[in-house]
Amino acid sequence: MKAVLIPGDGIGREIAQSVRAVSEALDTGILWQEFAAGAEYAAVEGELLQPGLLDAIEECGWALKGPTATPIGKGFRSINVQLRQRFATYANLRPVHTLPGVKSRYDNVDIVIVRENTEDLYKGIEYKLNDDIANGVKLITRPACDKICRFAFDYARKNGRKKVTAVHKANIMKLTDGLFLSVFRDVATEYPDIAVDDVIIDALCMKLVQKPEQFDVLVAPNLYGDIISDLCAGLVGGLGFAPSANIGDATRIYEAVHGSAPDIAGQDKANPSAILMAFAMMLNDLGMTEKAERLNRAIYDQTAEGKVVTADVGGTAGTKAFTAALIRRL
């Protein structure tokens, strides 16, 4: 099968090579179509996306993306926003769990964040009334709320999860977040086998750093989902082990959510774990469950052993050495 690979900026090209090598070692049969995107490509070509990229994603339906930067103050729209809107990837899925060998204040985190990906304040509807007043529109619709809540409950049921928690601020945002919460409660009645509750966003942040193990699946509007995704990544050691999937009805785009790390780009220092874990999510959704499990287990075992790991987790290995050791495990 064919899939699109977008290395992106900075360390992206190095970690993308890890994906290619691991994919070959696992004998996935995936034929990668590689396209450039990001600030570095824009500096040379004057546009963010290489021609043919969007058509290739449309044709394949599957893509894996490295970190991309957007030039600031030059009129470019975020690549992530462009892709989400173009392919209607309404659900952002972020699993976060404790990894052996990765320093953290917690040892039993296992949370999945389901983030609505198309509306809320991130819809980008902003305007200025005058030089001193700017306004942003918080757009929440019943169909989008229904779709993301059903996705969260379906995911929980399919993956043996026990509870889904709605994240909101309906005590203040009575119409917008109130609509989200109301739809969540309506959808929940159709899943009697799943426990439900809801938490106000500010209280959730406190509870996450006090006792994260009390949460299972969190479903949230776009802005809250973005914030708590990074917060939860911090509970388990940071974005270096935080994969993500953007899921639509016809298209799935998987990505490492960390930045492009230009300070270490080209120096063989990057940790490819996040993009490899995103690749494992992709393999699982493609039906290659056994290969996905092998890849995740190899990452966990190698990190736990601590001998061939990158500097961000206390090691001295480079990207290539880490990848080679991982392939030996596979």
DSSP letters for 30-41: -EEEE--BSHHH
Domain shared by 221 and 328, yes or no: no
Residue 214: half-sphere exposure toward Cβ, Cα within 13 Å: 11
Same domain for 163 and 251? no
Q: What mean pLDDT is predicted for residues 103-125?
A: 92
Residues 254 and 275 in one domain: yes
Residue 54 belongs to a domain with what CATH number?
3.40.718.10
Query: Domain boundary at 211, 235, 259, which?
Result: 235
74 pLDDT exceeds 70?
A: no
Same domain, 142 and 228: yes
Q: Is residue 160 part of a domain?
A: yes
Other C-beta atoms within 10 Å of 227: how many? 16
Q: Which residues pair with 247 in a beta bridge?
A: 91, 252
Q: Which of 9, 120, 177, 226 is catalytic?
A: 226
User: In total, how many domains does the chain have?
Assistant: 2
- Residues 267, 11: Cα–Cα separation, whole Å: 9
The DSSP code sequence of 88-150 is T--EEEEEEE--TTS--S-S--EEEEEEE-S-BGGG--EEEEETTEEEE--B--HHHHHHHHH
Supply φ then ψ for residue 42, to 5 degrees.
-65, -35
Same domain, 21 and 36: yes
Q: How far apart are CA 26 and CA 253, in angstroms?
A: 20
Q: 268 catalytic, yes or no? A: no
Read off the pLDDT of residues 57-67 as tens digits, 9 standing for 90 and up: 999 999 999 99
Assess whether pLDDT exceeds 90 at residue 208.
Answer: yes
307 is catalytic: no
Q: Is the pLDDT of residue 75 over 70?
A: no
Catalytic residue (choose from 122, 155, 224, 300): 122
Give yes or no: residues 224 and 246 share one domain: no
What's the CA gap between 191 and 54, in Å, rounded? 37
Contact by Cβ (8 Å): 5, 63 = yes
If we measure between CA atoms, which residue out of 252, 201, 199, 260 comes closest to residue 231? Answer: 201
Active-site annotation holder among 65, 90, 155, 169: 169
> Which one from 202, 211, 249, 307 is the annotated catalytic residue?
202
Q: In what order do the strands lie in the sheet with 163-168?
A: 31-34, 2-6, 62-65, 252-256, 243-247, 91-97, 110-116, 217-220, 163-168, 195-200
- Asked whether 45 and 295 are in contact (CB, 8 A), the reply is no
Inside any domain, residue 230? yes
The verdict on 170 and 230 lying in the same domain is yes
* Judgement on whether residues 132 and 177 belong to the same structural domain of the protein: yes
Domain match, 249 and 229 both: no
Q: Is 263 assigned a catalytic role?
A: no
For 148, what's the count of Cα atoms within 13 Å in the CB-facing half-sphere? 35
Spatial CB neighbours of 119, under 8 Å, sequence gap ≥ 6: 139, 140, 141, 144, 221, 222
Is the domain of 221 the same as that of 249? no
Decide which of 56 and 239 is more confident: 56
Residue 100 lies in a domain: no
From 187, 213, 235, the end of a domain falls on: 235
Task: Please state, rounded to an integer, the average pLDDT across all residues of the chain.
Answer: 94
Looking at the chain, the whole-number percentage of residues with pLDDT higher than 90 is: 87
C-alpha–C-alpha distance, residues 279 and 4, integer Å? 12
Q: Kindly state whether residues 224 and 111 are assigned to the same domain.
A: yes
Which of 206, 235, 264 terminates a domain? The answer is 235
Per residue in 160-199, pLDDT tens?
Answer: 999 999 999 999 999 999 999 999 999 999 999 999 999 9
> Reduced to 3 states, what is the DSSP secondary structure of residue 11?
coil
Pairing of strands 252-256, 243-247: antiparallel
Q: Is 4 inside a domain boundary?
A: yes
Low-confidence winner among 76-80, 123-127, 244-248, 302-306 (lowest mean pLDDT): 76-80
| Residue 320 annotated in active site | no
> Of 32-41, 98-107, 292-301, where does mean pLDDT reach its minimum?
98-107
Instruction: List the domain range (segments joined by +) for residue 252.
Output: 1-93+240-330
pLDDT at residue 73 greater than cutoff 70: no
Residue 78 and residue 161 in one domain? no
Q: Is residue 98 part of a domain?
A: no
CA separation for the pair 287, 40 (Å, rounded): 34
CA angle 41, 84, 42 (to 5 degrees): 10
Residue 124, pLDDT > 90, answer no
